[in-house]
Amino acid sequence: MNDIFSAIQASAKRIKEAIDVKDIGYSQQENSSGETQLELDIKSDMIIEEEFSKVASIHTIASEEKTHQELLHEDGKYYIAYDPLDGSSLVDVNLSVGSIFGIYEGGFGADKMVAACYVVYGPRVEMVFAHNKVKLYLLQAGDFEFVKEIHLNNKGKLMAPGGTQQNWPPYHKVMIDNFFAQGYRLRYSGGMVPDLHQILLKGGGLFSYPATSDKPDGKLRRLFEVFPFAFVYEKAGGEAVNGTEPLLSLGFAHVHDTSPCFFGSKKEVSVVKEVYSQNV
Ligand code: F6P
């Protein structure tokens, strides 16, 4: 696992440089989710692939930017699904973006997840690595330094409600309105990594991306986004569900499958489960 940790660190430093200097124009290509790829998405994907190719323990990679999985080392045991630059369209308005990694052993699937990691590129570059514990690292003078372990409070104060409100199910809107009526504060940038990072570091709350009328299976991708953050939140003492079921109990049929998702402190997620079990 140490070699993977180092490869992610090496990738993060190179992606940070690319963000700082690269022209962020649109490419002519679309990714598997039908989004037009930015040059920066492609560049970040290439950097990660290059760094992972040097790690013999990695068997196969699947990238949000690639249609198919790619075999790297026949004898490796780890399968890594990654989103090289999540929220990359926020770079041109100078908001934070991130890379997300799900590390699976023996094949892809929530039940095979052994670690998860994400990197936030903001005013500072931070990395969160979840294995047995959830640890925060900060890039300082060219190296990632350990900062602290992360633990979620039982109840938080922040609310990050994703998706277009007019397409939310009515009971979801009532639930979110009720949270705000209790004093929760809105914190939503439109970048999954910084939005979930903020809730984690500020002690808790709820990030939601529900099933909507235009996206009945949600928007966020299971292997690249949903399972890794579910793993991080659970290891930090929170919970992650699709409404009624733990996200980490879900399967997947295709590497680009999506799921409605809710990540948060235990208190907020218990409200989600109550509301959804009565309505779905
Ligand atoms: O991966 C897609 C993404 O950009 C996430 O980073 C983010 O949480 C979400 O989409 C935002 O979606 P919306 O604009 O629909 O709320």
The CATH number that applies at residue 13 is 3.30.540.10
Give the domain extent around 116: 2-149
**Does any ligand 1 atom lie closer than 6 A to the CB of residue 87?**
yes
The residue out of 149, 174, 197 marking a domain boundary is: 149
**Does any ligand 1 atom lie closer than 6 A to the CB of residue 84?**
no
Tell me, what's the pLDDT at 74?
Answer: 97
Number of domains the chain is built from? 2
CB-based contact 148:203 (threshold 8 Å): no
Distance in angstroms (rounded) separating the CA atoms of residues 116 and 165 = 30
Q: What number is the average pLDDT over the span 123-139?
A: 97
Same domain membership, residue 145 and residue 30: yes
Of the listed ranges 26-35, 109-118, 249-258, the least confidently predicted one is 26-35
**Amino acid, res. 79:** Y
The residue out of 122, 149, 176 marking a domain boundary is: 149
Instruction: Tokens for 170, please give them.
Output: 């009515």
**Does any ligand 1 atom lie closer than 6 A to the CB of residue 163?**
yes
pTM over 0.85: yes
**Does any ligand 1 atom lie closer than 6 A to the CB of residue 190?**
yes
Nearest 5°: phi and psi at 180?
Answer: -65, -35
pLDDT band at 203 (very low <50, low <70, confident <90, very high): confident
pLDDT at 19 over 60: yes
> What are the residues whose beta carbons fall under 8 Å from the beta carbon of 256, sequence distance 6 or more?
32, 33, 64, 221, 223
Same domain membership, residue 162 and residue 128: no
Which residue owns the Cα nearest ligand 1 atom 4? Answer: 87
Tell me, what's the pLDDT at 25?
Answer: 63
**Does any ligand 1 atom lie closer than 6 A to the CB of residue 98?**
no
The residue out of 149, 179, 198 marking a domain boundary is: 149
Same domain membership, residue 196 and residue 111: no
C-alpha closest to that of 67 among 25, 97, 37: 37
Q: What number is the average pLDDT over the span 77-99?
A: 94
Same domain membership, residue 126 and residue 228: no
**Amino acid, res. 241:** V
Tell me, what's the pLDDT at 72?
Answer: 98
Same domain membership, residue 162 and residue 145: no
- 38 C-alpha to ligand 1 centroid (Å): 15
Same domain membership, residue 267 and residue 243: yes
What's the pLDDT tens digit per position in 147-179? Answer: 999 999 999 999 999 999 999 999 999 999 999
Counting residues of the chain whose pLDDT is more than 90, the rounded percentage is 88
* DSSP 8-state class, residue 112: G
Is 237 strand, coil or helix? coil
pLDDT at 188 over 60: yes
Tell me, what's the pLDDT at 105?
Answer: 98
Tell me, what's the pLDDT at 78?
Answer: 98
pLDDT at 99 over 80: yes
Distance in angstroms (rounded) separating the CA atoms of residues 144 and 2 = 13
Same domain membership, residue 172 and residue 144: no
Helix segments in 128-235, DSSP class H: 170-181, 192-201, 227-235
Tell me, what's the pLDDT at 245?
Answer: 98
pLDDT at 24 over 60: no
Q: What number is the average pLDDT over the span 75-87?
A: 97
pLDDT band at 33 (very low <50, low <70, confident <90, very high): low
Tell me, what's the pLDDT at 30?
Answer: 65
Q: Given ligand 1 and candidates 86, 93, 165, which is best to mutate, with the most ligand atoms within 8 Å of its CB?
A: 86
Distance in angstroms (rounded) separating the CA atoms of residues 4 and 9 = 9
Same domain membership, residue 162 and residue 109: no
Same domain membership, residue 275 and residue 143: no
Which residue owns the Cα nearest ligand 1 atom 5? Answer: 192
Same domain membership, residue 270 and residue 246: yes
Tell me, what's the pLDDT at 280?
Answer: 82
Same domain membership, residue 168 and residue 93: no
What's the pLDDT tens digit per position in 105-126? Answer: 999 999 999 999 999 999 999 9
* CA distances to 219, 239, 276 from 174, in Å: 21, 21, 11
Q: What is the CATH number of the domain that holds 236?
A: 3.40.190.80
Tell me, what's the pLDDT at 100?
Answer: 98
Of the listed ranges 32-36, 152-156, 243-247, the least confidently predicted one is 32-36
Same domain membership, residue 133 and residue 81: yes
- 144 C-alpha to ligand 1 centroid (Å): 27
